[in-house]
Structure 1
Amino acid sequence: MAFISCFAALFWLSGIASAQAQPPPVPPPIELDSGRPMVPLDGRSLYWIDSGGRATPGQVEAAGDTIGWALRERNRQYDIDGKALWLRFDAAARDDGRWYLELGSSGIDRAQLFYRQAGGGWQVQEAGDTKAVSDWPLPGRVPTFELARPSGRPVRYFLRIEHARVNFASPIAIYSQGALLAAREREQFLLGGYFGLAALIAIVSLANAAVNRDRNFAAYATYVIALSLGQAAYLGVGAQHLWNDALRWNAMATFVLPGISTAAALWFTRTVTEPARFSRALDHAVRALILAVLAAVAIDTVAESRATFSAVMALTALGLVVVLLLVGTVWAEGEDPYIRLIALGFLPVLVMAMFPVARGLNLIPASVLTRYGLTIGAALEMPILFYALSLRGNRRREADVRSAALARTDPLTGLAHKGSLQHRLDSALARCLRQKQACALLAVKLANHDDIVREFGRDAGDKALVVTAAVLRGAINDVDLAARIEGSEFAVLLEGPTSTAAATECAQQIVARGLHQSQALPPTVVLKFQVALAMLPDRQFDSAGSMAWLHEALAGMRTEERRAIRPLNF
């Protein structure tokens, strides 16, 4: 019985070996017609890895099926360091259109397409980092080749690929001319928008850093520039538009710039979160990681091996974890009111960066997310972080702004003071006389200010004056001016041209808004305003005379008077 079992096992193993020795079925020729403008090569082509990397298309053609072709499957990765990957497929065009073979990823070292011409000679096309993009058969971000013109018979194609340090896993497809042009126009539009946004934010951030001496914006501008250059190299935009003839740099940029952008991201995060406030050990660890990333990039540039690039990718993955740790630490222990907005800005990049990092470590095949995930995340991140940094910067500069404004504003309410109002009124009167138009001046008194102070204290009285300032600002336009004259007396200048109806409406808004309850004041307190208003110029008054005229009218209004608005000359 044991003998029979052993014999059965041997028979089963020999059957498996025999099945594996059988050549794969040859895919039928790909039918190209206008009804199907894009045809992927997955499952429609065979592949073979030339371990020596020296086989010629003639030798590959002559060997036929004896060299061990295998069916190319979707999402398959190929380790071809020091080797060459050959793909073989047959295609027949059924119309007079032009068809193109596109490799879906940039940064490929070398790609060559071979097919026999009608005369029997080889037609050779070459693209990749070893050749300037302007010299490619069809210049663009990714290697693209034109297929043979329709001849009424299938044409056999051989695609040879060299690619080191990262497994080759690019999608490969055949496109009609219309489909290819539409796809390229769409991607150029989207990438142009992304890089335009990045350039705008970098320029404005640099301006903020220079004008306000804000190191957060300086670090952010550095990060945005480094990230954008890294994306330009990774997506092939740099080779296409920025460094077309710099072949050596083009081969290095795909590996160097993403690592530098990782170091810039860590520096920016450290600058924004200031981890030294919570843990010196964490701060030193971040510094050490930045130096480690830069050192790994330098070593990888010199050694140019799969192991050194994997080290850069591993440190990049660690950098993503550290960025998350820094933001989380400040969120948990800090009192920064904008940290949640900053964390929201980091989130898209932290999530989307995992895909290209995993691809660099050969953990997943190439896909839309590995190619464009970081670009999408950065496009979402940049405006959010810029807005958050602007809010934070404005808060930090608020004391300086208020100090600088003391020369022309009231320190309690932030409104213009009496001198500023008089200067603006002089200009408004001169302009009204010259252009034969009218402006309006309103004198406003908080009639119950003394009662508020007497019942609730000086602090409540000061808050009432601040709320009054907010009421006046809400009742006027940006070109008008609200000012505090003295004590509980204010003024509003409607520079014009204006009318009696507009001036009256403004006065009514002020009185009505004062009667609304404010959370800054005790629950039972409302603001009772009295307003005297006049259309100017009048009676040859200058600014001082006009202000004195309204002040006298306002002083004549009794506190218990029911009529809260007194027009003087209409």
Structure 2
Amino acid sequence: MKNLQKQAVKCMRYAIGFLAALLLAVLSGLLGAASFAQPIVILDDQRPVTDLQTSGLTWIDSGAQATITQLASSKTRPPMSPAQAHTVYALGSQAALWQHYRFMKSADSRQDWVLQFPLPLLDLVTVFQRSPTGDWIGQTAGDTVAVSLWPEPGRYPQFQLALRSGSVHDVYVRIQHATRVNIPIKAISGKVRSHRQQVEALSTGVVLGALLLLIVAGATQSLVYRDRAYGWYALYVSVMTLVAAAWTGVASHLLWSDSGVWADLAPGCLSILVGGTAPMVVHHLCGPGAGQKWFEPLAYWLGAASLPLAITYAMVERGTGVIIAGTYVIAVVVLGMRRAIIVWKGRDMVGFWVLAAFMPLALAALLMLASTMGLLPVSSLSQYGLLAGLTLQVPLLLVALNLRSRERHSMEAREQAMATQDALTGLLTPHLFNDRLHRVVSRAMRHGEPAAVVYVELANYDYVKRTYGTAVAEQSLLRSVIKLRRILRDVDTVGRVDEARFGMILEGVSSREPVNEMAARLIAAGLMPLKGLQPDVVLQFHVAGVLLSEKLADGPELSHALAHLLDSMAARTRRPIRFLEPELTRPMPLDGDSRDDSNRDLDSKPVRNYPKL
């Protein structure tokens, strides 16, 4: 019996001890919660920036019906919990987030203090502070409110803290945001805020100014060169500049500060529109490509779909709109990068530069989309990543555009050269040579300018072609051109007038001697063997020429006569240099001019009357 009593007493002791420990733990927890329920943030000039994400209490009003009077009253105040760092809130369009902060300005602080929400896309935030009379005064900002109505106009919401030295200042914050969001909040001194605003304005101004210069340059080059790729580039950079300005809050602050509705819609709508221009830029840079003909119609369809998708984004609920815009932009970026990779694999450096341009922008877009949807905490990288990605993308795209433009201009130059120059020899084509001949003959008829027209034929061309093949025959033509270039002056005109026949115009030549000398040198050079050439083929030339001072006729007549003279030569003729016979007679003058000079002199002499003897 005694043992049972002892055991019962021992159990009672353990139970009482356990209950006492449990009560002590509960009391300590309550005391701890009570001590943390109203944390006081000391604002000191030595710490000009204070992160407040863990310094307040939070409560989510699911119906967004609570008022500041209910929150501030001890009787009707709902239970608020300590805030956690990097918390992602999914408020939707119906709920509101309340935050409570307590501030005290240190005795030695001489700065004004500002409450900042460095999130340009924050929908709506209202800050409540007590006035000197004790009433609660609310100030509202956010991208659903026109920036011109903000208490402190800027890129993101910020509010002056009406602090009084030596007293605790209560601040209540009411936030509404349609999508998942991590909300940064800071208390910053006025001096540091002014310095940061100047740095931000300088960096943003430099980037936007450079982008504007690139837009003007692209539009100008599109008009001058008539190249649509530069036009698409200018359009893409223009819309992308607006997108960067909208996401960073610059556009809502400076461009459409009087429209809260458009400030809320602009980031998503403009992102979709810039996604529509990106495939066109990639298409004009990378080209259609063999086996990739599907890309061009797909690029046009994606571009055409951007406008209805932007309208849809403006009409649907914001969470759905963000999913639509994010999916579309990511699909466009992935498609463009895939096209660039295919082009790069084809050993085209344009594909490499396009890929390098889209990589940082794709990473920045994913980071910003993730932070907008609350998947990642908001940071300076997520805020300014798009601006940095754009800063890298635009010049890299310009490099790719310049490479492609250089290739196109080179191709156009070759096409123009093919219209004026022989594809094999690089000499003038027959129609251009005949045009030059017509001009020289016209000058000779009008002003008597001396010139010689010479036709040269590779006499053994047909034999070489039959014996050694087309390749050796074309090689013989090229050797002939080289030898012609060596003996001609820079001012002389030379063209390929037939398969193995060349025409030359030697201006300023008034005798046969220079022509004979040139022809003899050419024939001798053709007969000299070329060391190392296999097969060893000599070049046999026949030369036919005419001096315009000896025989003056129209260009086609001269060409026909010289060709006939070459055709009349035997393959092994001993006179490989021949001239057209000069004109020995002149047309008879008209009757009025038939009298000779002697008769004209006799008629002009006066009749003298001699004196009679």
TM-score by length of 2: 0.61
Report the equivalent of 2:130: 116
Corresponding residue number in structure 2 for 1:55: 66
Q: In the alignment, is the contact (CA less than 8 A) between 2:104 and 2:163 conserved in 1?
A: no
Aligned equivalent of 2:391: 379
Q: Matched residues, percent identical? A: 26
- For 1:129 and 1:412, the matched residues in 2 are separated by 66
Deviations 1:404-434, CA, capped at 9 Å, x for gaps: 899xx9x979xxxxxxxxxxxxxxxxxxxxx
State whether residues 364 and 386 of structure 2, in contact with CA within 8 Å, keep that contact through their aligned partners in structure 1: yes
Aligned to 2:354: 342
Q: Is the 8 A contact 1:107 1:251 kept in 2?
A: yes
For each residue in 1:297-354, what CA deviation from the matched residue of structure 2 results, as whole angstroms up to 9, or x when unmatched?
221211233123212212222222212111111122x353432223222222122222
The Cα offsets for residues 383-415 of structure 1, whole Å up to 9 and x where unpaired, read as 121122123212211354578899xx9x979xx
Could you tell me how far apart the structure 2 residues matched to 1:17 and 1:314 are? 50
Structure 1 CA distance, aligned partners of 2:483 and 2:207?
49
Q: Which whole-Å CA distance do the structure 1 matches of 2:229 and 2:88 have between them? A: 42
Cα displacement (A) at 1:237: 0.8
Q: 2:140 aligns with which of 126, 133, 137?
A: 126
Q: Matches of 1:69 and 1:464 in 2, distance apart?
A: 98
Structure 1 residues 90, 400: CA separation in 2 closer, same or farther (over 3 Å shift)? same
Offset of residue 284 of structure 1: 4.3
Q: How many residues align?
A: 420
- 3-state SS, counterpart of residue 353 of structure 1: helix
Q: Give, in whole Å, the separation in 1 of the partners of 2:361 and 2:389.
A: 4
Letter in 1 for 2:154: G
Q: How far apart are the structure 2 equivalents of 1:387 and 1:41?
A: 45
Residue 375 of structure 2 is matched in structure 1 by 363
Q: Which amino acid aligns with 1:133?
A: V
Indicate which of 103, 109, 112 corresponds to 2:117: 103
The structure with the larger Rg is: 2
SS of 2:89's equivalent in the other structure is: coil
Please point out which of 228, 247, 266 is paired with 1:234. Answer: 247
Q: Deviations over 1:81-103 (max 9, x none)?
A: 22111111111112232000110
Could you say which residue in structure 1 is the equivalent of 2:235?
A: 222
Q: Which is worse superposed, 229-238 or 359-368?
A: 359-368
1:35 is matched with which residue?
A: 46
User: C-alpha separation between the residues in 2 aligned to 1:158 and 1:72?
Assistant: 13
- The 8 Å contact of residues 181 and 371 in structure 2, kept in 1 or not, is answered as no
Letter in 2 for 1:244: S
**CA root-mean-square deviation:** 3.8
Aligned to 2:335: 322
Cα distance between partner residues in 1 of 2:270 and 2:480: 60
Deviations 1:221-246 (A, max 9, x none): 11111111111111111111111112
Q: 1:146 aligns with which of 149, 160, 163?
A: 160
Q: CA deviation at 1:184?
A: 0.7
CA contact (8 A) 2:312 2:321 kept: yes
Partner of 1:84: 96
Secondary structure of 1:114 counterpart: strand
User: Which of 81-90 and 243-252 deviates more?
Assistant: 243-252
Counterpart CA distance in 2 for 1:389 and 1:245 is: 38
- Structure 1 residues 485, 361: CA separation in 2 closer, same or farther (over 3 Å shift)? farther
Residue pair 2:127, 2:172 contacting (<8 A) in 1 also:
yes
Find the counterpart in structure 1 of residue 514 from structure 2: none
For the residues of structure 1 that align with 2:482 and 2:43, how far apart are their CA atoms? 78
Note closer, same or farther for the CA distance 1:106–1:18 as it changes in structure 2 (3 Å cut). farther
Give 1:308's aligned residue: 321
Matched residues in 1 for 2:217 and 2:80: separation?
A: 56
Structure 2, unmatched stretches of 5+, are 1-18, 428-474, 494-531, 533-613
Asked if residue 26 in structure 1 is aligned to residue 40 in structure 2, the reply is: no
- Would the alpha carbon gap of residues 265 and 360 (structure 1) be closer, same or farther in structure 2, given more than 3 Å must change? farther
Residue aligned with 1:280, SS: coil
TM-score (norm 1): 0.66
Deviation of 1:53 after TM superposition, in Å, equals 1.0
- Counterpart in 1 of 2:175? 161
Q: List alignment gaps of at least 5 residues for structure 1.
A: 1-10, 414-455, 467-482, 488-521, 523-570
Residue 286 of structure 2 aligns with which residue?
Answer: 273
SS of 1:67's equivalent in the other structure is coil
**Deviation of residue 66 (structure 1)?**
5.2
Q: For residues 70 and 155 of structure 1, do their structure 2 counterparts lie closer, same or farther at Cα, with a shift above 3 Å needed?
A: same
Once the two structures are superposed, the pairs formed by residues 358-437 of structure 1 within 5 Å of their partners are 358-400=370-412
Distance (whole Å) between structure 1 residues aligned to residue 243 and residue 149 of structure 2: 23
Q: Distance in 2 between matches of 1:300 and 1:385?
A: 28
Q: Give distance in 1, aligned partners of 2:91 and 2:25.
A: 27
Indicate if the aligned counterparts of 1:293 and 1:312 stay in contact, CA closer than 8 A: no
The CA deviation at 1:148 is: 1.1
Out of 211, 215, 221, the position equivalent to 1:198 is 211
Question: Are residues 192 and 463 of structure 1, via their aligned partners in 2, closer, same or farther at CA, if it must alter by over 3 Å?
Answer: farther
